[in-house]
Amino acid sequence: MSWKITAHAPREMVQAALVAHEDVWDWDPAIVIAGSEIAEERPLDWKLEAWLPRRPTRQDKAAVAGLFAHGAPALEVEKLPDTDWLVASQNLTQPIRAGRFHIHTPDFPPVDEAGVRDLLIPASQAFGTGQHETTAGCLAMLTLMKREGVVARNIADIGTGTGLLALAAMDMWPRALALASDIDAVCTQVVEHNAQANGFAMGGAPGQLVMTVAEGCDSPLIQSRAPYDLVIANILAGPLIQLAPDFARICAPGGHLLLAGLLETQEKAVRGAAFRAGFRLARRAVNGDWSILWLRRRSAR
């Protein structure tokens, strides 16, 4: 059984609630939340949705309501059909064009255009089909990096989800060593399937992708393959701040760090943590309400 709690509120309130969620250290991981606008023509009217694998208890509803600092809006509770809500929400997602990439699910045909790389990313139990502004922004930033002469021989995608960004980086630098990691073990099968579907080989050799399950950078495999010329992390602002010193330890002097998953309002804190860890800003972009940061680690003197 799946249930959903929905709260309708102005955009600023929902975004503040999402930020507050990151600071709740004892949040029940069974409750998955997201915020989005109600309709494209109503960009200021948002909703916060919380999905649960059980009927919401009084404590569950209090936890969701507690994310709103100045009083929660009315909470709507509904039982959902017996289906995977994430897969269902992605089944009919429209294809996107980001940088040199065209991303689509099996519901839509590929494109055959010069200079465009077509990537098939099915709906799955992992985050990252390219629809979210952060993922699309990373694809565009990777395209810019390549165009501006970045050379990556060793790549790590931390918090890979579907593996999309790792595969895109491999397409940009096909001879590079590539590693993808995620805290969720379900991502291993998802990444392997997506690599095969798009003609990428799994393995530890140049031009191949190796997958590992790890929390942040805490993995012997991640550590042993460092330092990396390019580290990608499209996760959340809180973990990005916490992991900044770890990124510095695995990123080569002069190497590149691509960060996303942070709201523009959170950019100052993330950039501050990265600066203290030894990175400087190379470029930034904003896609919707989300910032995408390209940083470089200072070279050792």
State whether the Cα torsion 268-266-143-155 is positive or negative: positive
112 is in an annotated binding site: no
Phi, psi of 139 (to 5 degrees): -60, -40
Q: What is the spatial distance between Cα 12 and Cα 85, in angstroms, rounded to a whole number?
A: 25
Chain centroid to CA 100: how far?
A: 19
Q: What is the spatial distance between Cα 229 and Cα 236, in angstroms, rounded to a whole number?
A: 22
The helix/strand count (H/E) of the chain reads as 9, 15
Continuous H helices in 185-276: 186-197, 220-225, 237-250, 267-276
182 is in an annotated binding site: yes
135 is in an annotated binding site: yes
Q: How many residues does the chain have?
A: 301
159 is in an annotated binding site: yes
* Residues annotated within a binding site for S-adenosyl-L-methionine: 135, 159, 182, 234
* Residues annotated within a binding site: 135, 159, 182, 234
